[in-house]
């Protein structure tokens, strides 16, 4: 199985150095660049930190929104991380303002209802049935966020993994055809995160034949 070429999208938002190092550790070839440099890679990783609206504005300005939509429609793998996960959904609401997202997943990003925010630190997840990403029970991943997707349509037709913080349940990951997105930071999640990235890179490699 050949080593896939993974594009790490640089649009001015995201923990690029850690993500680059973690992806390289899987054995994949990694290109860090703008939309034009990464659009034709075997797999695309979309990081993101900060506010939903600011990330979307930067993504649109860099041409990343169009690249994501085109890749998902064509069946080419995309992985969203943290706010890069959130922008995949229909919209995000922060501080009373709503901003449209990329919209390749239905759902709304909103403030969590937990007593303690931000949700920062290690947490377990409840993998959806048939998950490719999560194969070991009790794995812990590193989260840093105050917003998330708290409900999804029943007929989504995707593998959804959930997590809970202070009694509030939110989407921790979605596996939907070529699109994968995770609310946590796999690049900061130690061995569990490294295994998850390796499994995702393996799915990209298998598509190459």
Going by their DSSP bridges, the two strands 89-94 and 105-111 should be labelled as parallel
Known active-site residue 187:
yes
The token pair at 125 is: 């997840």
Residue 78's beta-bridge partner residues? Answer: 44, 179
The token pair at 131 is: 């998950």
Residue 209: count of CB within 10 angstroms of its CB: 6
Q: Is the peptide bond before 160 cis (omega within 30 degrees of 0)?
A: no
The token pair at 76 is: 């080419």
Known active-site residue 65:
no
Of these residues, 39, 41, 55, 82, which one is catalytic?
Answer: 82
Known active-site residue 39:
no
Which of 163, 200, 201 is closest to 184 using CA atoms?
Answer: 163
Q: Report the C-alpha gap between 107 and 89 in whole angstroms.
A: 5
Give me the residue label for tokens 């190459």. Answer: 208
Give me the residue label for tokens 């709304």. Answer: 108
Q: Which residues are catalytic?
A: 82, 185, 187
């Amino acid at each position: 199985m050949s080593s896939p070429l993974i594009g790490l999208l640089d649009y001015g938002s995201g923990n690029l150095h850690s993500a680059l190092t973690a992806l390289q550790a899987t054995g994949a070839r990694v290109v860090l660049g703008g939309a034009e440099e990464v659009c034709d890679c075997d797999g695309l990783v979309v990081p993101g930190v900060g506010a939903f609206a600011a990330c979307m504005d930067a993504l649109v300005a860099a041409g990343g929104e169009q690249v994501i939509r085109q890749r998902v429609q064509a069946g080419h793998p995309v992985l969203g991380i943290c706010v890069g996960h959130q922008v995949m959904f229909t919209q995000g609401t922060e501080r009373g303002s709503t901003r449209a997202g990329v919209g390749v997943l239905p759902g709304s990003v909103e403030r969590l209802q937990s007593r303690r925010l931000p949700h920062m630190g290690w947490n377990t997840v409840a993998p959806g049935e048939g998950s490719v990403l999560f194969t070991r029970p009790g794995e812990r991943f590193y989260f840093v966020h105050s917003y998330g997707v708290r409900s999804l349509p029943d007929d989504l037709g995707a593998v959804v993994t959930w997590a809970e913080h202070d009694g509030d349940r939110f989407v921790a990951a979605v596996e939907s055809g070529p699109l994968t997105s995770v609310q946590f930071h796999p690049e900061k999640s130690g061995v569990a995160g490294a295994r998850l990235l390796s499994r995702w890179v393996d799915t990209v490699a298998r598509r190459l034949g």
